[in-house]
Each structure stands twice: as C-alpha cells, then as structure tokens.
Structure 1
Amino acid sequence: MILKALQAYLNNFRGFSREIWILTLITFINRAGTMVLPFLSKYLHEDLHFSLSQVGTIMVFFGIGSMLGSWLGGKLSDTIGFYKIMIFSLLTSGVLFFALQYVTSFEGMCISMFVIMTIADMFRPAMFVSLGAYAKPENRTRALTLVRLAINLGFAAGPALGGLIIMNIGYKGLFWVDGTTCIIAILIFWLKVKEKKKSTYQDTEHPGEILVDSVFKDKVYWIFLVSTLIVGIMFFQLFTTVPVYHKMQFNLTELQTGLLLTLNGVLVFFLEMPIVNYIEKNKVDKIKVIIFGCLFMTISVFLLLINFWSGVLVVMMLFMTFAEMFSFPFSNSFAMSRAPKHHQGRYMAIFTMTYSLAHIVSAKVGFTIVEWYGYQANWMFMGVLGIIGTLLGIWVLKLVDNEFKLKN
C-alpha cells in the first residue's frame, strides 16, 4: 500500500526534460545558498549597529532594487535572451555578495542592497521564460511547480545552514557561502544547458490567442495582477505580523511558530505536485483554481479573528497552505500563457514585480494597522482585501470567457 502510494507520488515527477531538472537543481542550490537574506535585518541591527529605522530604510532599497531587477530581467530576456541574463545575474551577484561584507556605512549599504537586488532579481523573470522554452506546453505548470518545490526546499535548508555558519564562523561566512553558491549554480547551468534560441512556446500556432500585443494594453492581465498583488499581501502576513501575533496573543515560542511554518512547507512538498497534476489532467480552468486560492487565503485571514483558541492557528495554516498551492503555480502559469510572442519576458517581469511590491506593502501596511488599531483590525482589513481580490478573479474569468467567444 505504501509502495503504491510512493509510486503514484513519484509518477507526478515524470516527463520533464533534462534541462528542467538542471534548472530545478540550480534553483535549489541558489535558494539554499541565499542564507544572508533571513538574517539580513539581524546582521544590520546587531553587527553593524544600525537603528531599526535605518534597517527599515535599507529594506526599502532592497525592495526597490528587487522590483527594478525584475523589470530589467524581463525586458532584456525579450531582447537579448534569457540565457545570457541568467548567467550575468547569478555570476555578478555572486561576486557582489563577496564584496558586501566589506560595506559597513549606512549610505553604502543602501546603495549596495539596491545594486545587488537589481542584478540578483534579473534572474527570476529570465528563469520563468527559460521554463517556457525548455518545458513541453502540457508540462509547463508542473515544471513551475517543480521549481517552486526546489525554492521551498532551498528556503527550508538555507536558514538552518545559515544559523550553523553564524554560530561557527560568524556573519561574514554567510556572504562567502552565498556568493559561492550563486557562482556554482550558474556554472552548472552554463556547462550542462545549451542556449535555446527558439522555443515551441514562442512559435504559437494560434497568433490570435492573445488580443493585445503589449503588456500595458492588456486590461485582463492588469486586473489579474491586482488580484495577485492582494493574494501576495495576505500571504506575506505569514512572515511579518503573524509570527509576532503568535507571541503576543497566544504566547507561542519561536519553536512552535517554526513548527507551524514547517507544516506549511511539508504539505506543499508532498501535496502541491499531485494537486497540480490532477488539475492539469482533468483540464480544470486555471482561473477558477486561482479564484479558489484567493478565497481560501481570505478565509485563513478571517480565521485569525478567533483570538481565544490557539488551535485556530493550525486550521488557519491549513487554509493558507491550500490557498498557496492553488494560487501560486497557476498564477505563474496563467501569466506565462497570457504573453504573446516576444513579450514573455515583460509579462513575467511585471508578474514577479507584483510579488516584490506585495512584500513591501504587506509589512508596511500590516504593522502600521497593528500599531494604530490592533491585530483584529489588521485581520479584518486583510480579509476585506481578500474579498476584493476574489471578486477581481471572477471578473478576469468573465473577461477571458468573452475573449474566447469573440475568437470563436
């Protein structure tokens, strides 16, 4: 029985090209190596003795750099190709991470974080475009899911390894490891994956599939992005206000909060690929799945209004996890499928910028509401935002249905 279940699970990972597996491997190495990031605020405050206000300012430069990098990476992927952008981004950011440990002034750190994140986050949209080039059309959502699994595993391994390095070598060791993993990852990619000039994904047989030829004229896509932004704002509460709320309201330890986050990671690891595979095989409409994801995310936030029973945190995490599994892989896939020929990079750039913006807005808005009005007001605000996001998803579904009717 167990062997049968294991075989069924492993079957979800069949059918990928060699290039997709290599992309997954380098994504895992890169994300596991990005261990500076979870400890960055701590390093700036405790080692460099910056005030919390200064740390906040540096993180704003971090976020702006991330957004600019996402845009540049997408735009340049369309003009000079994703392959060159991926190699430039990881190789250069690896070298810059080595240099970052020698920056100790506030102004220098603001400029350094902006430059590093601009170059480092050029990688993300280029990587998404590469999935479109190397994955078969029928495997594209599963390929995205596979890479997401690598990201989740990398993020799970990174902080633990980072903690060990800090204890034994100090913060400086993180910069050396982070830079080295960036360079190792891209050398594997360069040696094992050949540049693909043309992809079957770009040579669509149905050029009329998308009715616009510029991302700025695609009304449907922008409504979808606002819904995606809302989902991101709700989800990132998990890493900003929620851990603090655990301690304040229920007196949870760091270990208990960590276990709840681990529950999220374990469920994603074991369930996301089978869920995506099932939805793909049964040809369920991607937009409908995304709508359910936003609805589940909204329910998870509203559940936090129950502030007298700690068990609600487990129920909330279950809803949040399923919301994540419905929303993220299919939002990625919809964004890619929406892009017309020669515009994949730009579409994926704006898509990844949406999450960068969500990260900045989520922390700032969430903590401001908590400071002024309390946690209950924040959960209510986020929940109402979620209802708006769900309604926007329904609007996107109707607009796409109308496009389909016009074509036929």
Structure 2
Amino acid sequence: MKNLYANYIDSFKGLSKEVWWLALITLINRAGTMVIPFLSLYLINDVGLTLENVGIVMSCFGAGSLIGSWLGGTLTDKFGYYKVMLFSLFSSGVLFVALQFLHTYESICAGIFILMIVADCFRPAAFVALIAYSKPENKTRSVTLIRLAINLGFSAGPAVGGIIITSLGYVGLFWVDGLTCILASILLLVVLNPKKARVMDSSKNENPKSAYGDGYYWVFVAAMILFGFCFVQYFSTVPIYYSNIYELSEFKIGLLLAMNGFLIFAFEMPLIKYLEKLNYSKTNYVIFGLALVGLSFLLFNLFSWAGILVIGMLLMTLGEMIAFPFSNAIAMERSKRGNQGEYMALYSIAFSISHIFAHNYGMHSIANNGYTFTWNVITIISVLGILLLLLLKRISITNK
C-alpha cells in the first residue's frame, strides 16, 4: 500500500506550478457545471419538453459549442489565451444564472446556443495555455491533470446536484453554475497573471501550415467526432435510460456519474504514467479506449441485470481515461505545425459536432426505435471510429 501511494504521488512530479493553478481553476469551474448532466431531465421534468424538443435543444448546445470552439481558437491566436479564458469564464457565469429565467422552447434554444458560444471559447484557449505552461515531455500528464481536475469537480458536482434538486429544485443549479464560473475567473485573474506566469514552451512556427489543409489531422478529427458521438450519450440519453428503464432517481443517477469522476481522480494519472512507459503509440491507446466505450453500450443490450449499469459505467470510464489524454496529446503535438489555436479549436470542434448530432439522434432514436436499436447503432459508430483510427495509423506509416 505504501508503494502504491508513493507511485501515485510520483506520477504528479515534474508538472509546473502554472499547470497546477490551471487545474485548480478548472476544478472550481467544473464543480459548478452540474446542470449539464441533468439538463435533459430538467427540460423534460421541469420545463415539459418532449424528447424530440430536447434533442433540438441539445443540438443548439452542440452548435453553440462548435462556434464557440472555432471562435475561441481564432481569438486565442489573435489576442492570446489569457484574455480569452478570462472573458469566457466570467461571461458564461452570468449567462448560466440568466438561463433559469428562460421558459419557452424557443428562448431555451437561443439561450443554450449563446451560452455555449461563450463558454466553449475557453477550451482551445485552455489547451494553448497548457502547451505554454508544460514541458514537452510532460504534456500528456499535464492534460491528464486537467482532466483529473475536471472529473474531481464532476464527481462532486452531480452528487451535490442531486441533493440540490431534491431540496431546492433545478433553479438552484443555475445559480451554483454561474457563481462558480465567476469565482474561477477571479482566481484566474489573481494567480495566472501573464506577467508573472512562466512560459515553458514558447516555440512558434514561423511558417505555420493551416490545420484546415492537414489531411492527416482531418482523419483524426473525424475519428474524434465518432468517439464523441458515443461518449456524449452518457450525458443525455443514458441518464434517461437509467430513469425510464431502471427507475433510478436523480440522486442515484448523480451517484453513478460521480463514480465516473471519482475513478478518474483516483486512477487516471498513475494509469497514464504507466501506459507512457509501454512501447505503444498514442493512436493505439485511443483505439483501445474507444473500443471500451463501444462495448459499454453493447452490454446494455446483452444483459437486463441492473448491475450492468455499473459495469457499463466502469468500461466507459476506463475507455475515457485512456482515449482522452492520448487523443489530446496527439492534437497538441500536431498543433506545432501551424497556429496552435486553430489546431486545438478543431480538436474541440470535433466534440462540438458530436453534441450537435449525437444528442438529437439519440433522443429521436429512443423515441421512435427504442433503446435496444439505439445502443446497437452507437456500438456500430464506435467500430467506425476505430476503423478511422486504424486508417490514421496506416497514413502515419506511409508518411514515414
């Protein structure tokens, strides 16, 4: 046990102080975003929208995220990551609070769309900041630390969110979301002042190539879209599956989601450090991670035992722990070819596109075809993503 603890602590060594501050800011911000996992339930139970309506709202969520990711990358290349992160955190906090006052279908669509444009400007800016604050050999673990912060916040957020819903209703979540975003912006202003923060990787390509003309990267982005299509179901259709088929309460759903965050907090960093020592490519790890996520959906159709919900969450979590850090590291390495904001924006946009189509498809599919058909399609999509990643490996070998 002592050696296990020592190895866990050792996996965090070598990361810069700025990366730790960025992780803390992310933790505070993410801990408050407890509305997102419950958004589909809120729109159905409190607002009274249909499954089809919720699918359209979640598409607005994805469309705003796509535009925000592109805009964030463009603004980062023009004004720098610090200003973009500060603007995004504070403004999205205000918008989260305002969202609770929207009650019509049309206004909610517009509100979610605008909120996500502002909120997702943060992502490419944060990735570029992470590149600047990390030594080249520490970038994958730096990404993992940020994900650890995200999931530590996410492990507490849904559990607390379930309690808040039970005691105060959904409205309380919007206040918590907004105030924590504003708090994160204040912390960013205090601890990551660009005049004091150390830049550890400031290399800039004098003849940058456009990310939009990088064929290799587009195959990678396409694979990430399919990965995201499967993964985001756990935050829209899967909670409804838990509720409708297994009759889980919001509190129990929150606990299942919290388990995901806790496992990532406890095991992802030492797992990534261990995997980095093995002689496998980052692409291989992303393939394995996507396979585990796809398998979690297949199991839903193979077993009716309630315990399969926990097993499915475990498989999804392990797949997420492996696929996200290494796919992010692939994007960060490739970004050195051109404008970093542009490359990291495309990586974020991949998941934004998933939000646009995945939630809408999932909601319409379970309404019209049922859960069994929907989970089979999601499994097939994961296989298509794996095939694209295998193509990526072939392109990489051919280019050597």
Q: TM-score under structure 2 normalisation? A: 0.88
Percent of residue pairs identical: 45
**Which residue of structure 2 lines up, in the alignment, with residue 288 of structure 1?**
284
Query: What are the residue-to-residue correspondences of 1:3-402 with 2, within 5 Å?
Result: 3-44=2-43, 54-166=53-165, 171-195=170-194, 201-203=201-203, 213-246=209-242, 257-282=253-278, 284-340=280-336, 342-402=338-398
User: What's the offset of the Cα at 1:56?
Assistant: 4.3
Q: Which range moved further: 348-357 or 166-175?
A: 166-175
Distance 1:149 1:276 in 2: 11
CA shift digits 1:237-283 (9 cap, x unpaired): 32333344445555666666555444433322222111111122345
Question: Between Structure 1 and Structure 2, how many residues are aligned?
Answer: 399
Q: Could you tell me which amino acid in structure 2 is paired with residue 154 of structure 1?
A: G
Do the aligned residues in 2 keep the contact of 1:70 with 1:353 (CA within 8 Å)?
Answer: yes
SS in structure 1 at match of 2:301: coil
Contact 1:339–1:347 at 8 Å: present in 2 too?
yes
1:373 is displaced (CA, Å) by: 3.4
- Compute the displacement of 1:380 (Å): 2.5
SS for the counterpart of 2:302 is coil
Is contact 1:213-1:340 (8 Å) kept?
no
Contact conserved, 2:143 with 2:325, CA < 8 A, in 1? yes
Deviation at 1:78, TM superposition (A): 1.1
Note the residue ranges of structure 1 that are not aligned, 5 or more in a row: none
- Cα deviation for residue 383 of structure 1 reads 2.0
| Amino acid in structure 2 at the alignment position of 1:34 | T
Q: Is the 8 A contact 2:51 2:367 kept in 1?
A: no
C-alpha separation in 1, matches of 2:317 and 2:162: 26
Asked if the contact 2:99/2:111 (under 8 Å) is kept, the reply is: yes
- 44-53 or 394-403: which moved more? 44-53
Check 1:255–1:76 CA distance in 2 against 1; reply closer, same or farther (3 A cut): closer
Shift of residue 13, structure 1, vs aligned partner: 1.3
How far did 1:351 drift? Answer: 1.1
Q: Conserved in 2, the CA contact under 8 Å of 1:202 and 1:342?
A: no
Aligned counterparts of 1:328 and 1:67: Cα–Cα separation in 2: 18
CA contact (8 A) 2:77 2:340 kept: yes
Task: Rate the CA distance shift 1:166–1:386 in 2: closer, same or farther, 3 A.
Answer: closer
The two structures, once aligned, show a CA RMSD in angstroms of 2.9
Deviation, 1:306, is 1.0
Query: 2 CA distance for matches of 1:55 and 1:162?
Result: 20
Q: Measure the CA separation in 1 of the matches of 2:239 and 2:100.
A: 29
8 Å contact from structure 2 (residues 32, 153) kept in 1: yes
- Distance of 1:238 and 1:55 partners within structure 2: 15
Distance across 2 between alignment mates of 1:54 and 1:378: 18
Structure 2: distance between partners of 1:83 and 1:345: 12
**Alignment gaps of 5+ in structure 2:** none
Higher relative contact order (CA 8 A, sep 6+): 2
Answer whether contact 1:94 1:178 (CA < 8 A) is retained: yes
Query: Based on CA coordinates, which of the two structures has the bigger radius of gyration?
Result: 1
**Structure 2 CA distance for partners of 1:370 and 1:55, relative to 1, 3 Å:** closer
Cα deviation for residue 378 of structure 1 reads 2.3
Instruction: Report the CA distance shift for 1:306/1:253 in structure 2 as closer, same or farther (over 3 A).
Output: farther
Q: What is the DSSP-based 3-state SS (H/G/I as helix, E as strand, rest coil) of the residue aligned with 2:363?
A: helix
Aligned partners of 1:16 and 1:139 also within 8 Å: yes
What is the rounded CA distance, in whole Å, between the counterparts of 1:228 and 1:146 in structure 2? Answer: 21
Could you give the per-residue CA deviations for residues 194-236 of structure 1, whole angstroms, max 9, x where no partner exists?
Answer: 32799554516x989xxx8111111111111111111111222
Relative to the length of structure 1, the TM-score reads: 0.87
